Structure 1
């Protein structure tokens, strides 16, 4: 009798253990395909490529050869986690690389910069201002949209296009679009003032030219239309 009771108790214990094990959720198994789909992280450290024209390009530099700089562009904010393509930039267009660890790689020699800055040595403020104007006349080119935008808006909208033309004419040129022969020269206040004012004047001239030609085109079209309508009315009278 005692033996039968022990066997019954053992059977009930084993049955309870099997039920508890059956109720436990299965262990999560990592999907290898899903893990492989996530690109490797670029890390929080960011290098900065400084170009000759003064533009700064945040990136992760992979390597530098005598001809090109290979880098990974930083993903845009909110973009899906897709591994970026490796890009490259000609070394001739690179001034310096500021690495995330604090070191810097200079691609243009101090001798080259000395020769560029030497053009200002010994010049008065007025002479540096005049040199800035001369270089601006030679190197600065307003964007094509300055002329064509004012031309199209005036030709299509008439007087309303004058508002667009005025806004473009009085807007300041972008600092990165000045295109000085040596960006380091723009650090001199007098040179920069002369270069900037001449660039702004040239941009305004392009805008005024676009407005003038747009208005002339509009007047020509209106004259042709009026002449055609008058000719038709005259013929209908006879």
Structure 2
């Protein structure tokens, strides 16, 4: 029994060590790797034989596709260097307004709400400080929170987006304070009613 378990463990570890992602460049070259992150312009990866070593960077413009160890694939389309059609013809004020509208639609800020709720539940008066910090921290603009990542290259669009996202984040943080305080109050009422009902 122990022998079978050791063999199973050995083959499982061997599979984990051999499992890897593959970066396929537009030239056709295949690079075995462990992909760590795919950013707006780069792919960050490590060589599978030195996972504790150097993090390598490759421009996304050179990559055709990444095949992940789980069988999924991500194909990168050739994107022009500048913003697409409609945005190129817009004035700075229009881009600023578009950024605000996109933030209203795409930025959620739910992390701020639940973080603020948890903070305010811990100790209501002291937890408010945590909620204030959460609400005051500038939101992170992620590529999945915009309809076209090329818009992030325009400073007017980005300014409008960040201002609206910050406003929305503060509102979500305030809602979180209400949720946390409501849960805390409900728990206090439940405990008091349970203790008062006890003989």
TM class by shorter chain equals 0.5 to 0.7
CA 1:72–1:56: 2 relative to 1, 3 Å = farther
Matched, 1:56 2:42: yes
Query: What CA deviation, in whole Å up to 9, does each residue of 1:50-103 have, x standing for no partner?
Result: 95x61632237xxxxxxxxxx85962349xxxxxxx7476333x3xxxxxxxxx
The answer to whether the 8 A contact 1:155-1:218 is kept is yes
Equivalent residue, structure 2, for 1:108: 78
The answer to whether the 8 A contact 1:129-1:192 is kept is yes
Count of residue pairs brought into register by the alignment: 156
Equivalent residue, structure 2, for 1:210: 176
Runs of 5+ unmatched residues, structure 1:
1-38, 40-46, 61-70, 79-85, 95-106
CA 1:174–1:77: 2 relative to 1, 3 Å = farther
Matched, 1:141 2:127: no
Equivalent residue runs for 1:193-232 within 5 Å:
193-226=159-192, 231=196
Equivalent residue, structure 2, for 1:18: none
Deviation at 1:224, TM superposition (A): 4.3
Please give the alpha-carbon distance, in whole angstroms, between the structure 1 residues aligned to 2:49 and 2:72: 11
TM norm structure 1: 0.52
CA 1:200–1:134: 2 relative to 1, 3 Å = same
TM norm structure 2: 0.61
The answer to whether the 8 A contact 1:132-1:195 is kept is yes
Larger radius of gyration: 1
- Counterpart of 2:92 (choices 118, 121, 125) is 125
- Provide the aligned C-alpha RMSD in A: 3.9
Please give the alpha-carbon distance, in whole angstroms, between the structure 2 residues aligned to 1:145 and 1:157: 19
The answer to whether the 8 A contact 2:37-2:45 is kept is no
The answer to which structure, 1 or 2, has the higher relative contact order (CA under 8 A, 6+ apart) is 2
CA 1:154–1:55: 2 relative to 1, 3 Å = farther
CA 1:161–1:50: 2 relative to 1, 3 Å = closer
Runs of 5+ unmatched residues, structure 2:
1-16, 18-32, 55-67
